[in-house]
Amino acid sequence: MIKAVIFDFGQTLVDSANGFRKAEKDAQAKIFSNLSLTLQEDFLKNYRRFRKELHEQSIFSRMTLWKEVYLYYSQEPDLCLLETWEKEYWMMVRAHTTLFPKAEPVLKSLSAIYRVALITNTQGQQGYGTHRMNMFPELEPYFELVIVAGEGGVPPKPHPEPFHLCLKNLHVLPAESVYVGDDWRIDICGARDAGLTPIWLKHEGIKRSWPDIKTSIPIVHRLDQLLDLETLLGKK
Per-residue pLDDT of the chain (236 residues; tens, 9 = 90+): 999 999 999 999 999 999 999 999 999 999 999 999 999 999 999 999 999 999 999 899 999 999 999 999 999 999 999 999 999 999 999 999 999 989 999 999 999 999 999 999 987 665 444 577 888 999 999 999 999 999 889 999 999 999 999 999 999 999 999 999 999 999 999 999 999 999 999 999 788 889 999 999 999 999 999 999 989 998 54
User: Could you tell me where the DSSP H helices lie in 96-222?
Assistant: 103-111, 160-170, 190-193
Separation CA 181–CA 183 (nearest Å) = 6
Give the CA distances from residue 14 to residues 3, 23, 171, in Å, rounded to whole numbers and listed in that order.
24, 17, 27
Coil vs helix vs strand at 116: strand
The class level of CATH for 4-16+98-234 reads alpha beta
Separation CA 221–CA 225 (nearest Å) = 7
β-strand partners of 14:
10, 99
Phi, psi of 145 (to 5 degrees): -150, 140
**Element at 149 (helix H, strand E):** strand 145-149
Q: What is the pLDDT of residue 208?
A: 87
Separation CA 154–CA 54 (nearest Å) = 18
Would you list the domain boundaries of the chain?
4-16+98-234, 17-95
Separation CA 20–CA 26 (nearest Å) = 10
Separation CA 15–CA 9 (nearest Å) = 9
Separation CA 25–CA 76 (nearest Å) = 22
Separation CA 77–CA 70 (nearest Å) = 6
The pTM of this model reads 0.92
Give the CA distances from residue 217 to residues 66, 191, 230, in Å, rounded to whole numbers and listed in that order.
36, 11, 14
Q: What is the pLDDT of residue 130?
A: 58
Separation CA 57–CA 74 (nearest Å) = 23
